[in-house]
Structure 1
Amino acid sequence: MRGPVLVALVGAAGVFAATAALLSTSGSGEASVGELALVDPAAIAPAAAPTAVAAAEVPGGVTASLDRPEAAAVWVESTAARVGIGQVAVAAYANASLRIGVEQPGCNLEWTTLAGIGWVESQHGTLGGNEVLHDGTTREPILGPALDGSEGVGAIRPGADDTAAHGNTDWDHAVGPMQFIGSTWSRWGSDGDGDGVADRGDIDDAAYSAGRYLCGDGYDLATGTGWTAAIFAYNHSDAYVTSVLAAANTYAESSG
């Protein structure tokens, strides 16, 4: 389980959800083209199946290593301009989607799903005037509220590594742009950018780790049932699922 939502929830009325924007690599190391499937938000209640209503081609990524594919720079630049997200964050989400596509192709994780989570959690690392730096870290650390059992939050004691990450010796905090708590990070935290360090304050690492988390229970995110269950597992809140749905769809529509 990750930390509490830090930003206001956004409505889903009149919005379609992206469920399968695939950025996948071929065996040659060149990208294949995927589809962007959209579903009616009215059908995104638990156990719903998506209804495809539109599709858009999305340029893929190229890679020097099939273990860690990267989205094409021209795609990142143009997509960032269209959707209004910084290039570092767009690259983090796309690269995570590409890599999960190689490791767990049956999950069908799209970059717009990660972007939807990133918006709800921290506005892609920019909440409160913060800034994502070129290396994926943020100018100021992103900390959720103390998980001290007060209204709306659980009571979680920190481990030594958690205290080192946020400075509180009494209570844990969610940390970073995707808001991981320590116990979840200890299981899913991974090095997303190949620098040898898994840092939940680095959007490259956090996006890849969020992708591993979403796909960890075998969900197929190309289905309404699987997509809803995966997002609900990330945060046990129907309102949260609706918020991520709305944000993901906004990015899917504007990136097409």
Structure 2
Amino acid sequence: MAETAQSTEAPEHPARPLPPYVPRLAFAGGLVLTGLILIMTVGVNRPDGAEPPPPAPQPQPALAVPDQKPQPGVATPRAGLAAPPDRPTVSDAAELETWANRVAAKTRLPVADLSAYGRAEMWLRRQKPGCHLSWATLAGISHVEAAQGRPGPITLEPDVWAKHSARATSDGKQPDPKDRDDAAFATARYLCAAGDDVATPEGWWKSMRTFDSAVPYVQEVFSAADAYADASVAP
């Protein structure tokens, strides 16, 4: 039997093992890549097929109020869309809410505020039918009060409040000067207290100058009331 020949080739070196941190780096890189893919594809291939929620609607800008500066006693602001008829024996809350939503869409005033102004108009239509006070005048007063840094319910002097305040919702509670409904109702009662017809230029200016004697203040109320009234009846 022949003798096996010795190989003259150099023996191969065994493979060098990878450093222990290399597999960990590869695993971490895979996780990062997977996360990036998920971030880029989320919302594109939703399992339930749902669309992403729409962005929240942006609030509408306030209605522009032209600065008219009418002369005292020459004109009266327009009345605007009349509040619903007052029905003493049944609830008229649904009609008032419908009216307030309709006017709010046109004037960009809060629905709750318009409900307070409209309720005051409804009450005064029965209590002082010759006054003909429009909700737009109350909205104009509130606009000027807010512009002068007094946001919220119309503020009356304590002696005026004591004399003319009444609960607007007839729930048996005491009138609250911080309640927008009570404040609007008390203001309406004050404006109509002298018995003047505020649908006439003379009556409106006399009533408003009892509320505030400063002509520039009343002119600003006139401009705002007229703008809201005009917008409320626009097509």
TM normalised by structure 1 equals: 0.58
Q: Where in structure 1 do 4 or more consecutive aligned residues deviate above 2 Å?
A: 10-13, 62-72
Measured on the aligned residues, the alpha-carbon RMSD in Å equals 2.8
Does residue 231 of structure 1 match 2:211? no
Q: CA deviation at 1:109?
A: 0.3
Taking the aligned partners of 1:246 and 1:201, their CA distance within structure 2 comes to 26
Does residue 216 of structure 1 match 2:193? yes
Q: How do 1:3-18 and structure 2 match up within 5 A?
A: 12-13=67-68
1:199–1:225 CA distance, 2 compared to 1 (3 A): same
Aligned match of 1:179 in 145, 155, 169?
Answer: 155
CA deviation map 1:33-75 (0-9, x unaligned): xxxxxxxx64x413x355x9x887x364255525986553221
Q: How do 1:37-56 and structure 2 match up within 5 A?
A: 42=70, 44-46=71-73, 48=74
Which residue identity is paired with 1:245? F
1:194–1:246 CA distance, 2 compared to 1 (3 A): same
The equivalent residue for 1:97 is: 121
Q: How do 1:23-172 and structure 2 match up within 5 A?
A: 42=70, 44-46=71-73, 48=74, 58=81, 60-61=83-84, 65=88, 70=93, 71-122=95-146, 127=151
Mind listing any 5+ residue stretches in structure 1 that lack a counterpart?
Answer: 1-9, 14-40, 128-141, 143-176
Decide which structure has greater strand share.
1
Taking the aligned partners of 2:131 and 2:143, their CA distance within structure 1 comes to 21
Decide which structure has greater helix share.
2
The equivalent residue for 1:248 is: 225
Alignment coverage as a number of residue pairs: 166
Say whether the 8 Å CA contact 2:96–2:119 is kept in structure 1: no
Q: CA deviation at 1:11?
A: 6.0
Q: Percent identity?
A: 30
